[in-house]
Structure 1
Amino acid sequence: MSDASKPLKVGIAGLGTVGAGVVKILQGHAGLLTRRAGRAIEITAVSARDRSRDRGVDLTQYHWCDNPVETASLDDVDLVVELIGGSDGPALTLARETLSKGKSFVTANKALIAVHGKELATLAEKNGATLRFEAAVAGGIPIIKALVEGLAANEVTGLHGILNGTCNYILTRMEREGLSFAEVLADAQRLGYAEADPTFDIDGIDTAHKTAILAAIAFGVAPDMANLPVEGIRTIAPVDIDYAKELGYRIKLLGVARKDSAGVETRVYPAMVPLTAPLAGVMNAVNAVVVHGDYVGETVYEGAGAGEGPTASAVVADIIDIARGNLCPAFGVKVADLQTLPAIPADKHYGTFYVRLSVEDKPGVMAEITAALAKEQVSIKSILQRGKADDGGVYIILTTHRTVEASITAVLERFNALKSVLEAPAMLRIEEV
């Protein structure tokens, strides 16, 4: 339990946008936070690479550590906030040092938790410390607290999330303005919505880290990046966005986690979601998560997924929790109670699919296509034929009835072997979320 007679003394490692935001909240809302936490929360130490940088906050009253790991060893630090980033390096060393000394650790570092979460949770339990990472997933949306506390009475069977604001912003602008992926990405980089190296965002890695964390909490398992296939949005074309809308869908990059009697499926991929679904209306840089519980049914969480204010808000919420003495295990259950469930292979996924083909405009092509589908026992739900493609062919767009993904993969291989097919087929999964 916390000692309400003593302030909780906090060291902050990393003073970028979010770190400065945490300082602003702790300074500006000191009285409010004391009332809500039941004790004072005081910053005593900070660490960053550049002492001289103006961060818009007064740091002169705090002990400065040139080495962030030093904050874990200070006598006047009870809790360390890590906002350095990266799954290894100083962030991991700081986490290990802090928890090994029995001090609590708060982070916004999704890569760290996705890769080393079980190890760090074990260290926390062994040393009587608390590990918190609300800010690691979906910024200001309290989705982790919702899973750990609000939905604790439910068996969660699945969740779908828009977990990367950069990708959602790019897809939104592609749809609204009819621009290519490359055009929107270049503009997003110019405006600061995308990093100079956007790989982690657009290739789905950032979403994968967050999906692994949510699946771990939802299903009571350890985060598992090794069995989480990832696809990004580089291959999404304006034509697919247009056809998706014609069919009643919108394309979103999703983090998906499902559990059934066969095990756990976790994946990241661009998918078509119905225009009537909650996730379809989530535009620009906003994040959202839909969770399915056996008693509560479907619940939806939506809000800012990044930025100084939302992310710093989530960090401070974790600090308040620890100040109150809330010692709930990091993943909702103790490490010893985490289950080991089979990982469902990607090719065992069962669902419906969208396929776009560019083919020669001549008799007999449709017969070749339907023959390829028949050989893999894939049934057509709908089929459209449209005007000229960029390569001079015509587009054929089809959707399937429910089938196993291995069959769709085999169908695509058959399509690629047809001389009448002019370019590699495009395939998207359809998620009726």
Structure 2
Amino acid sequence: MKIGLLGLGTVGTGVLHLINQNGKNIEKKIGEKIEIKKILVKDPDKKRAPLADGKIIFNPDDILEDEEIDVVVEVMGKEHPALEYMIKAIKKGKNVVTANKEIIAAYGKELIKLAMENNVSILYEASVGGGIPIIRPLKQCLAANKIHEIKGILNGTTNYILTEMKEKGLDFEEALKDARQKGYAESDPTDDVDGFDAARKLAILCTLAFNKYILPEKIYTKGIRSVSKSDIKYAEELGYNIRLIACAKVDEEDRLEAWVHPVMIRKGNPLNGVNGVFNAILVDGNAVGEVMFYGQGAGMMPTASAVVADIMDVKNNIVIKNGYEDANIVSFEDTVSKYYIRLIALDKPGVMSKITGILGNKDISLLSVVQKGVMEDTAEIVLITHIASTGKIFEALKEMQSLKEIKSIKSVIRVEGE
């Protein structure tokens, strides 16, 4: 099997090394040798791994027009020109393997349809969870189940930041700086810390778990910038960890609820103990019950592992032909949850009665109210509600912000567990 590799960055280099290192074992499993014939790169002056010697090319057509190449492996990243190369490869009758979550989340429906029309595969295990096997199990092992819910930690950068904030008492900016220094965060961390990366991955999982097609921008997304070390501390006192959770489920009316949001996870929940750069995904099926997939969600070799497994599946004739339907989406305001609210208010009589009055008028009852401290003429107040409509919570917060006694609402975090 001859491979054309589009890109030789971190993941591409990992693919090159893995095929070289495990090539004989792979050949035994699929009955055929895998050979990387050509590798497309942009920078002619960049130093490359010796394994790439003699394979480097600069014109994509040297791969896309090569009739000997069976599989095009796209590990360039970003949408363009990777999308155009993938489309051309499919039209030329080549199978495509990609780790590109941006493209699969935004154009997966069209690419799968195009692959079906050209009788080839498009496989994308590495687009979600790096080395964690989740795409393939949803397509195959769990395919007989009706999936009730899929929920998880889908971004290692944010999980590392939240872990460091708890374990070292860092604030968000300090933990982000540490993540950058260790190579876990990009120079521009927006996609990670604002939740967009997790939303793209969740969109992909929705198509597989529920046969529902949803664009990432239709998923309500809130990242972790507003989470402070105070929130981390108060969560721990209450028996919780804060994690950025991506969640999707289908209701009785076949509507899709999908969101990404900081969540307080009760100790005892499997997701509570997922620390550092690790990812974890819980899948709840009507036959299998709840199963969890856990491991490194990124990195050179874990991601390369998923890419090479997809290459092997091409040889094993595993062609997945999904016809997705557009999702009927539940508004985030129509979801329900307990909520943690931290606010700064004037330290004077009558303020709490105004706050509880606003909540009561929205049919929101309180599980607990704690005044955490007084700073000059203001007090920090932490509220935890009983399960309530998110829309009503938002309405109440808007009314609170209009009160002259409320200086600021610092944090709003969903709460899971008793």
What is the deviation of 1:224? Answer: 2.1
Secondary structure class of the residue paired with 2:224: coil
Partner of 1:225: 216
Pick one of 261, 268, 279 that aligns with 1:269: 261
Task: From the superposition, tell whether residues 425 and 29 of structure 1 become closer, same or farther in structure 2 (CA, over 3 Å).
Answer: closer
Partner of 2:197: 206
Pick one of 398, 402, 405 that aligns with 1:420: 405
Partner of 2:108: 117
Partner Cα separation in structure 2 for residue 79 and residue 199 of structure 1: 33
Instruction: Using structure 2 for the length normalisation, give the TM-score.
Output: 0.96
Pick one of 293, 309, 321 that aligns with 1:317: 309
Pick one of 286, 300, 305 that aligns with 2:292: 300
Secondary structure class of the residue paired with 1:406: helix
Partner of 1:405: 390
Structure 2 unaligned regions, length at least 5: none
Partner of 2:31: 38
Partner Cα separation in structure 2 for residue 392 and residue 109 of structure 1: 52
What is the deviation of 1:327? Answer: 1.4
What is the deviation of 1:43? Answer: 1.1
Write the letter of the residue equivalent to 2:303: T
Alignment of 1:163-312 (within 5 A): 163-262=154-253, 263-312=255-304
Kindly indicate whether the alpha-carbon contact (under 8 Å) linking 2:264 and 2:413 is maintained by their aligned counterparts in 1.
Answer: yes
Kindly indicate whether the alpha-carbon contact (under 8 Å) linking 1:38 and 1:324 is maintained by their aligned counterparts in 2.
Answer: no
Partner Cα separation in structure 2 for residue 55 and residue 209 of structure 1: 31
Pick one of 36, 52, 58 that aligns with 2:51: 58
Partner of 2:414: 429
Partner of 1:21: 14
Task: From the superposition, tell whether residues 365 and 290 of structure 1 become closer, same or farther in structure 2 (CA, over 3 Å).
Answer: same
Partner Cα separation in structure 1 for residue 201 and residue 277 of structure 2: 16
What is the deviation of 1:181? Answer: 0.6
Partner of 2:131: 140
Q: Deviations over 1:49-69 (max 9, x none)?
A: 12443333422243x321335
Residue 379 in 1 paired to residue 365 in 2? yes
Partner Cα separation in structure 2 for residue 115 and residue 71 of structure 1: 25
Partner Cα separation in structure 2 for residue 293 and residue 386 of structure 1: 41
Number of aligned pairs? 417
Secondary structure class of the residue paired with 1:58: helix
Partner Cα separation in structure 1 for residue 50 and residue 319 of structure 2: 31
Secondary structure class of the residue paired with 1:357: strand
Secondary structure class of the residue paired with 2:2: strand
What is the deviation of 1:222? Answer: 2.2
Partner Cα separation in structure 1 for residue 171 and residue 410 of structure 2: 18
Secondary structure class of the residue paired with 1:378: coil
Kindly indicate whether the alpha-carbon contact (under 8 Å) linking 1:352 and 1:401 is maintained by their aligned counterparts in 2.
Answer: yes
Partner of 1:4: none
Residue 160 in 1 paired to residue 148 in 2? no
Partner of 1:3: none
Kindly indicate whether the alpha-carbon contact (under 8 Å) linking 1:117 and 1:223 is maintained by their aligned counterparts in 2.
Answer: no
% identical aligned pairs: 40
Partner Cα separation in structure 2 for residue 388 and residue 164 of structure 1: 36
Kindly indicate whether the alpha-carbon contact (under 8 Å) linking 1:388 and 1:394 is maintained by their aligned counterparts in 2.
Answer: yes
360-369 or 162-171, which moves further after superposition? Answer: 360-369
Secondary structure class of the residue paired with 1:257: strand
Structure 1 unaligned regions, length at least 5: 1-7
Task: From the superposition, tell whether residues 40 and 430 of structure 1 become closer, same or farther in structure 2 (CA, over 3 Å).
Answer: same
Kindly indicate whether the alpha-carbon contact (under 8 Å) linking 1:20 and 1:57 is maintained by their aligned counterparts in 2.
Answer: no
Secondary structure class of the residue paired with 1:179: coil
Residue 11 in 1 paired to residue 8 in 2? no
What is the deviation of 1:341? Answer: 3.3
What is the deviation of 1:392? Answer: 4.8
Q: Deviations over 1:111-144 (max 9, x none)?
A: 0100000110011000011000000101000011
416-425 or 195-204, which moves further after superposition? Answer: 416-425
Alpha-carbon RMSD across the aligned residues, in angstroms, is: 1.5
